Amino acid sequence: MSTFRQPGLVLTDHRFDVPLDHSAPDGERIEIHGREVVAGDRAAGADLPWLVYLEGGPGFGARRFIGPQAWLGRAVREFRVLLLDQRGTGASTPANRQTLPLRGTPREQADYLAHFRADSIVKDCELIRRQLTGGAPWTVLGQSFGGFCATHYLGAAPEGLETVLITGGLPSLTATADEVYRAAHPRVRRKNEAHYARYPDDVERARRIAAHLAEHEVTLPGGGTLTPEAFQSLGILLGGGDGTHQLHLLLEDAFVPTPAGPALSDAFLEAVQSHLSFAGHPLYALLHEAIYAQGQGPTDWAAERVRAEFPEFDAARTLAGDAPLLFTGETIHPWHFDVDPALRPLRETAALLAARTDWTPLYNPARLAANEVPVAAAVYHDDMYVDTAHSLETARAIRGLRTWVTDEFEHDGVRAGGPRVLDRLLALARGEL
């Protein structure tokens, strides 16, 4: 363990040895990193309950805070917080284009990654909890995909839970990947309409950029290819509280004059790369559809198939007419593994994961219906990433769960309004509201 200080906080890094496959505990082991955070004035011997934070994703390590930012300052007033790097992310045993070839063939890589879903993450949590708390249950705060993990936790190991708090992450218990993406497209269209209503000049700007990309091969500074479809995927920004403003700032000065005519500026391309590269979170692309796999057959590139049902999102069709270009949302497509250098070596592995048929169900409706753990969930009205109707249906299926439905925040509410969001959820879970 190593300990260091930041303003107002004491942080201690832990490393935990866990089985790759929890059904074979004597087999291969991997390492999980967790960062313990406690208020500076309570660090010396304070007997505090634990709260474990599960980041969104899949494929993102726990956020690296500097001081008591966002919700963390509120949490350390009464908890000892564990910021957990879920398996394969952050400082845990990595899984990326550089390390996965150590596994062997693409088939062996896909088999390895099949152990990186919510079920394995929760089993990791249970091993870690027993080491840290001496067996006492803890509170879980799950953001987005972290909420998916928390929902699995409620059905798989409720004895380990004191309280569950979920922000923007109540999943459907039964929807297939196709159904999730089919429900998403109308929401994404609404986010586009709201963006263009706020920034009407962006209609022409976006069309001009897409037309340029259709006519020219454009390479990003890191070697990626910026196609019209990749450009459209900047729409993922529209699900965050300030995302529409970020997108506008990207678009407003995209071109510069050159001897060969107008070209996309280096500054624009550098900024675009920072939003589109999967170098820091390849598991997001590799496992995104698998988080919806419920034993109902292969996901089979569901987002790509469902997109064909919504031709208004087709860039070529849009450019042939005069409609605004529609940006897309949280979807992964086969072409991602062609245009992104961080993903290109993993294309065959991704295809094997998309074809996989042995995914097991992630949720236990019977145990959730009999739930006795206090649960509170923030459901963001018209959340671009997680369907509100799906979330509310799940809320009704989990006994005792209390919801806070709000349009004050977008999907990143726990970061944008962290102390207030965490306060509200704790009060709901404790019956104070």
Same domain, 415 and 325: no
Same domain, 323 and 369: no
What are the pLDDT digits (tens) for 193-228? 999 999 999 999 999 999 999 999 999 999 999 999
The CATH number assigned to the domain holding 416 equals: 3.40.50.1820
Same domain, 234 and 167: no
Active site residues: 144, 358, 411
Beta bridge partners of 31: 17
Same domain, 292 and 318: yes
User: Whole-angstrom Cα distance, residue 420 to residue 413?
Assistant: 9
Same domain, 83 and 202: no
Reported pTM: 0.96
Same domain, 347 and 379: no
Q: How many domains does the chain have?
A: 2
Angle (CA) 170-175-181 rounded to 5° is: 90
Q: Which of 355, 381, 413 is the last residue of a domain?
A: 355
Average pLDDT estimate for 137-155: 98
Q: Which domain holds residue 237?
A: 177-355
Same domain, 267 and 416: no
Same domain, 131 and 256: no
User: Whole-angstrom Cα distance, residue 97 to residue 283?
Assistant: 10
Phi-psi region of 88 (alpha: psi -120 to 50; beta: other; left: phi over 0): left
Q: What is the pLDDT of residue 45?
A: 67
Q: Which of 309, 329, 355 is the last residue of a domain?
A: 355
Q: Is the pLDDT of residue 300 over 90?
A: yes
Same domain, 139 and 99: yes
Average pLDDT estimate for 103-132: 98
How far, in whole angstroms, is CA 188 from its chain's centroid?
17
Beta bridge partners of 38: 10
Same domain, 343 and 198: yes
What are the pLDDT digits (tens) for 359-376? 999 999 999 999 999 999
Which one-letter amino acid corresponds to residue 358? D
Same domain, 197 and 333: yes
Q: Which of 355, 383, 412 is the last residue of a domain?
A: 355
Q: What is the pLDDT of residue 44?
A: 63
Same domain, 63 and 129: yes
Which ranges constitute the DSSP H helices of 216-309?
Answer: 228-232, 243-251, 266-276, 282-287, 302-307
Q: Are 140 and 164 in contact (CB under 8 A)?
A: yes
Average pLDDT estimate for 311-340: 97
Q: Taking each helix axis from N to C terminus, what angle separates 106-113 and 347-355, rounded to the nearest 10 degrees?
A: 60
What are the pLDDT digits (tens) for 223-240? 999 999 999 999 999 999
